[in-house]
Amino acid sequence: MTEPPRPPGAGDPGNYPPEPPTAPLSGAPGPGGYPPPGGYPPPTGDQPPSGGYPPAGDYPPPGGYPPPGGGYPTGGAYGGPGGYANNEDKTWALVAHFGGAVGMIVSGGVLGWIAPLVAMLARGSQSPTVRAHAVAALNFQLIWSIVGLVGWVLTCILIGFIGVGAAVILGLVFGIIAGIKANEGQLYRYPLSANFIK
């Protein structure tokens, strides 16, 4: 059996085929590619310091470095990141909205106002954000709890199931929507609500 022919220089130790010529990089400043003939131009001051070292002078600067972008975003209707001063405020706002929705389901459309009231009493005096969320949820849940209660009273003549059903469904749907908005840092204005609590 015979071997196939080898390319020139193949198989001989130390004798490799010549490498193809390389084209210069596109956009290279000189005909030979990088580095340009004669070296790189001197820095103009807009480049980072060489060697990974911090710039000369005060390090770190007095007062620390500012956050990227020049400040913290105000993500919602209230100041602070995400619209809340801290996670506790966000938690209580969510308790007011989602707790109202759950309370309407569990109680048959009558006790959806308890969770917003608890949120307002527990954290409303310390946080205006939580108070605004709790008051909005409390006003809405009070209206529909009254409708649910009247519906239960009228069940003896069979028309009350409509009121109970409306109270449960609306309390659930709008409570969930308000909770989602509160999670994003926004205050939700409930439809079909009244301002009993200011």
Residue 17: Cβ within 10 Å count = 9
Look at residue 47 and tell me if it is in a domain. Answer: no
**Range of the structural domain that residue 97 is part of:** 81-183
pLDDT confidence of residue 75 = 45
User: Pick the residue with more confidence: 156 or 31?
Assistant: 156
Domain contains 190: no
Give domain status of residue 64, yes or no: no
List pLDDT tens digits, range 121-147. Answer: 999 999 999 999 999 999 999 998 998
Give pairs for 172-175: CB < 8 Å, separation 24+: 172/101, 172/104, 172/105, 173/101, 174/101, 174/140, 175/97, 175/98, 175/100, 175/101, 175/102, 175/104, 175/112, 175/137, 175/140, 175/141
DSSP string of 86-141?
Answer: SHHHHHHHHHHHHHHHHHHHHTTSS-TTHHHHHHHHHHTTT-HHHHHHHHHHHHHH
Rounded Cα distance between 187 and 178, Å, is 8
Residue that wins the pLDDT comparison between 113 and 163: 113
* Domain-located, residue 162: yes
CB within 8 A of 161, min separation 6: which ones?
151, 155
Residue 39 forms part of a structural domain: no
Query: Measured between alpha carbons, how far is residue 101 from residues 40, 149, 193 in Å?
Result: 67, 16, 14
Tokens of 195: 């301002």
Instruction: For residue 182, count CB atoms less than 10 angstroms from its CB and return exposed for 0-12, middle for 13-18, buried for 19 or more.
Output: buried
Asked if residue 12 is part of any domain, the answer here is no
pLDDT for the residue numbered 153: 82
pTM beyond cutoff 0.85:
no
Residue 166 covered by a domain: yes
Tell me what the mean pLDDT of segment 27-32 comes to. 51
Measured between its terminal Cα atoms, the distance across the chain in Å is 100
Q: How many domains does the chain have?
A: 1
- Residue 35 CB neighbour total at 10 angstroms: 11
Q: Is residue 23 part of a domain?
A: no
Tokens of 115: 């969770």
pLDDT, tens digit, 9 for 90 and up, residues 92-119? 999 999 999 898 888 888 888 999 999 9
